Amino acid sequence: MQQAEARSNVAAGMIRLTQWASTAALRELPPAVRRRAAVVLADDLAAMVAASTEPQVAAARAGLVAGSGPAQATVFAVGAPRLDRASAASANGIAITWCELDEGYRLVPCHAGAYVLPALLSEAETRGLTADQLLSALAVAYEITARIAMTFPFASIRVHPHAAFATVGAAAAAALVRRQNAATLLGSVSGAASMAFAGPFRHAMEGALVRNAWTSAGAWIGLHCAEWAEAGITGLPETAYDAFVLGLGTELRAGELTDRLGEGWAILDGYQKVYACCQYGHAAVEAALALHARAGSGRGLPEEIVVETHARGLALDTVEPATTLAAKFSLPHAMAAIATTGTGGQPAFTDATLHDPTIADLRRRVRLTPYENVGAPPFDRPSRVTWRFADGTRWSEQVLSAQGGSDRPFEETTLRAKFADLTAPFPRMAGVLSALLDGERGGEAWPSLVDEMVR
């Protein structure tokens, strides 16, 4: 396909997508989609609260407090004042992916909820939406974001999706809350696409904490792109092609913009996490936990750990993680920490585990190798973990698809327990979120529900 034809196809797809979205956000969601949107809301709010006490998050928030304008929106941290909506979105945006406990989209690297929600929460609170209106905007903005990520996939994981797509998700969310017509929505999203940035994926493995700020910057940029579009400051229908294909070197699958538009919903293909690390390693984490349970308390640690995994898992190869972020993107650390502590949750990725001599020693004896005959989704991220003991005994466990996706969803009790645990600093939050999950309280004003949850 010639470049001119490709640009034209993308422009036509973007026009059709935003035409659909501008009206879809005004309609009642199908019950399954509405409930799934409530799960994403609960999951990502809980992730924000979980990270709110991290020292770097608190320090960044203090800077935003100092420079904030009028109080418009809530920051989900105990004791934090309300800030202007852009500052609140930035503060929540820097927290949302910090603990690696936010939800994600399964079909392509994309955490659409984390890109949409910081801006959406601020705009919805400022404008007094109902909870159901917020959930509709969430589902439709998620659709726009996921479809753009599917349209412009990276052949290799060079650019992190948080950098590539956060501006788009935030702009889509803010524009939908502002009830923009199709042309203005297109201008908001195209302007945001022009401001995608090339954050290196390796920064996550190397522990550069700026990676956690990409969703913060994306929220701020997206909010302003929605404002600027209403002033006539927009991109072009072709901007996404120019930014992603020509600028960032992605592939192009233009049909993803409109294929089955309005029939299938991207938000139904998301996943949840109970393990506090990169989802590419979750099949290996699940297998390692099974081996730890099998070993019990008397077997001792293995001499060597071999992880057969898919291509994206092989990239998680850091042996000496410099920060807790790097640990969350290190299969050697995850395997050693699980073998030692018996958990894949947040306690396996603390600063103390980085410097634990037993874990550090075992990290150096973890070997990553390719998994042969990787399947099609949802079996495209498998892992087999083998423990070799000093006496020559070998134990292996295989997981073809990690729990948490639509093929192996977590039980309701597991999700609600996660939400309650992470939102414990706000004792009433889990109850409000559970009511939304159950289809209740959707007609109530979102600002009132926020006030009940945090104050």
Residues 254 and 284 in one domain: no
pLDDT category, 85, cuts 50, 70, 90?
A: very high
Res. 161: pLDDT tops 80: yes
Q: Bridge partners of 383? A: 309, 399
How far apart CA 244 and CA 248 sit, in angstroms, is 5
Question: Of 399, 417, 446, which one is at a domain's C-terminal end?
Answer: 399
Spatial strand order of the sheet with 394-399 comes to 366-370, 304-309, 383-388, 394-399
Residue 287 CB contacts under 8 Å (≥ 6 apart), including other chains: 383, 384, 385, 397, 398, 399
Amino acid at 76: F
Residues 114 and 255 in one domain: yes
The answer as to whether 390 is a domain residue is yes
The answer as to whether 444 is a domain residue is no
Check: CB of residue 248 under 8 Å from CB of residue 5. Answer: no
**Residue 293: exposure state from Cβ atoms within 10 A (0-12, 13-18, ≥19):** exposed
What total of structural domains would you count in the chain?
2
Here the CATH number for the domain that contains residue 21 is 1.10.4100.10
Mean pLDDT of 409-419: 94
Res. 1: pLDDT tops 80: no
Closest CA to 320 of 312, 309, 332: 332
3-class DSSP state of 306: strand
How far apart CA 201 and CA 193 sit, in angstroms, is 18
Residues 259 and 341 in one domain: no
Q: Domain limits at 333? A: 279-399
Residues 236 and 379 in one domain: no
The answer as to whether 206 is a domain residue is yes
**Residue 260: exposure state from Cβ atoms within 10 A (0-12, 13-18, ≥19):** exposed
The answer as to whether 424 is a domain residue is no
Question: Of 229, 245, 271, which one is at a domain's C-terminal end?
Answer: 271
The answer as to whether 423 is a domain residue is no
Reported residue count of the chain is 455
Closest CA to 219 of 131, 117, 129: 117
Residues 228 and 364 in one domain: no
pLDDT, tens only, 16-31: 999 999 999 999 999 9
Ramachandran region of residue 232, left (φ > 0), alpha (ψ -120 to 50) or beta? left
Check: CB of residue 134 under 8 Å from CB of residue 447. Answer: no
> How many Å separate Cα 254 from the centre of its chain?
23
Task: Give the model's pLDDT for residue 311.
Answer: 95
For residue 83, what are its two tokens?
A: 């800030």
Residues 175 and 33 in one domain: yes
Residues 298 and 167 in one domain: no
Residues 266 and 306 in one domain: no
The answer as to whether 139 is a domain residue is yes
Residues 66 and 159 in one domain: yes
Residues 254 and 292 in one domain: no
pLDDT, tens only, 329-354: 999 999 999 999 999 999 999 999 99
Q: Bridge partners of 394? A: 388
Residues 266 and 302 in one domain: no
The answer as to whether 422 is a domain residue is no
How far apart CA 57 and CA 32 sit, in angstroms, is 34
pLDDT category, 298, cuts 50, 70, 90?
A: confident
**What is the crossing angle of helices 214-230 and 161-177, to 10°?**
40
Residues 190 and 335 in one domain: no
Check: CB of residue 354 under 8 Å from CB of residue 324. Answer: yes
